[in-house]
Structure 1
Amino acid sequence: MAKHLTQADVEAILSIIYAWKDQKLTWEGICDASASVIGKKPTRQSLNANKLIKEVYKSKKLTLKAHGPVTPKPSSLTMAGDRIARLQSEIENLKRKNSILLEQFVIWQYNAYKRGIKEHQLNEPLPRIDRERTE
């Protein structure tokens, strides 16, 4: 039986998917690329079972399908270094925001559970706005 993926393994696999440059992105390709990074070759099923990996995989696959592999070339190393620093800062900021939103979601989830609100009630669509009505 395959070992479960740790949070560090998931982060490493996500980095591999984000950096994927080939036109063809496959689960098997990710498994092979992950083996050297995390020390073991994960199965396609274990990668597909992780929601975050699955969503990033689908997003990257759609991006590659629509635009192909993107390799921007800066005009100088200074500009490249500045861009890398800016993007790393942006990534850290987005990770922080994502963490805050996940914490907020857990709080909402607990409060909904505590008050007996069911999942189907939370997923009800918003009411339709009737703009033709005058009062």
Structure 2
Amino acid sequence: MPKQSKSRARNLGDEDLEAISRLLDGWDGKLSWELLIEAIETRLKARYTRQALSQHARIKLAFQLTKERLTGQPRSKQQGSAGLGATEAQALLERYQRLEGENARLKAENERLLEQFVVWAYNASNRGLDARFLSQPLPRVDRDQTKLRPSRPSKL
């Protein structure tokens, strides 16, 4: 029987990375790469391997932070509080946990970007570029229609 080749999933773009990070931010329960792959397949309609996902620093970091958050989380969830129904309290708890996960991920991403900025600043100073030169505004973009010059009459 001939082996069927599977079509390759599309490359992950910024929107896909954001969707996967948000998925991990709101993750509740057991987390494994296989469970994440299945959830991504359901949401993005594309199947990726663990290796493909972990090559993206943003996904790898979000996965690690979610794993840490889940292992530090108490097993039994508190139901109901301050006059809220059980479902309302559960929804609020889930939203809180998702926001906590997102906050931790964004802090880690911000730290990584700050480290990248320090590297760029060091390399720029090695090249003799000062902060004033690097802080120059970008050139203004002229979005008006290009003005055509009148054509010169040709001499025959």
Distance 2:12 2:124 in 1: 31
Gaps of 5+ in 2: 1-7, 128-156
Gaps of 5+ in 1: 118-135
Distance 2:70 2:40 in 1: 20
Structure showing greater relative contact order (alpha-carbon pairs closer than 8 Å, 6 or more residues apart)? 2
Rg (Cα) greater in structure? 2
Number of aligned positions between the proteins? 116
In structure 2, the residue matched to 1:56 is: 62
Distance 1:41 1:20 in 2: 18
Q: Which runs of 4+ in 1 moved over 3 A?
A: 68-109
Distance 1:82 1:66 in 2: 19
In structure 2, the residue matched to 1:3 is: 10
RMSD of aligned residue pairs (Cα, Å): 3.9
Distance 1:57 1:31 in 2: 12
Instruction: Please give the residue correspondences for 1:1-135 in structure 2 after superposition, counting only pairs within 5 Å.
Output: 1-23=8-30, 25-68=31-74, 71=77, 73=79, 75=81, 107-116=117-126
Distance 1:104 1:45, change over 3 A: closer
Query: Which TM-score applies when normalising by structure 2?
Result: 0.51
Distance 2:106 2:45 in 1: 28
- 1:67 is paired with a residue of what secondary structure? coil
Identity %: 21
Query: Which TM-score applies when normalising by structure 1?
Result: 0.57
- Check whether the contact 2:33–2:50 (CA below 8 A) recurs between aligned residues: yes
